[in-house]
Structure 1
Amino acid sequence: MKNKIKVFRAMRDMTQEELAEKISVTRRTINSIERGKYNPSIEVAYRIARTFNVTIEEVFCFDEDSGDQS
């Protein structure tokens, strides 16, 4: 799933580690989500969106053509 986490972090001058701490996950999890290697649970997606004060849809974009069903 495509996302704009890196963009939102950059706008707030926030590291992966800082975001991870705010939403109670590891930096490795944030890295994997940013790279599209891991799709977050709805709870984690909500916490990410809430941290940036935006909707989940503003952060994440489901790409039906990707063929990735994970």
Structure 2
Amino acid sequence: MGAGIPEQRSGQDAPFLTVAEVAERMRVSRMTVYRLVHSGELPAVRFGRSFRVPPGSVESLIESARYTGS
């Protein structure tokens, strides 16, 4: 790795995911992620003008949305 450049981490190891990373992981648009954040369905932290999402929040949302059929 180059001096002073942090090593790229995988999404699960990172303390927070960007909206774009969440959208890619869930295979939805970034606007869908923003809607989930603003509705309170997806917990997020605001840093300045951007949102960051804890990876566990994404996994919890996916698990709660799982459809098993009847």
Give the structure-2-normalised TM-score: 0.37
Larger-Rg structure: 2
Which structure dedicates a bigger proportion of its chain to helix?
A: 1
Give the structure-1-normalised TM-score: 0.37
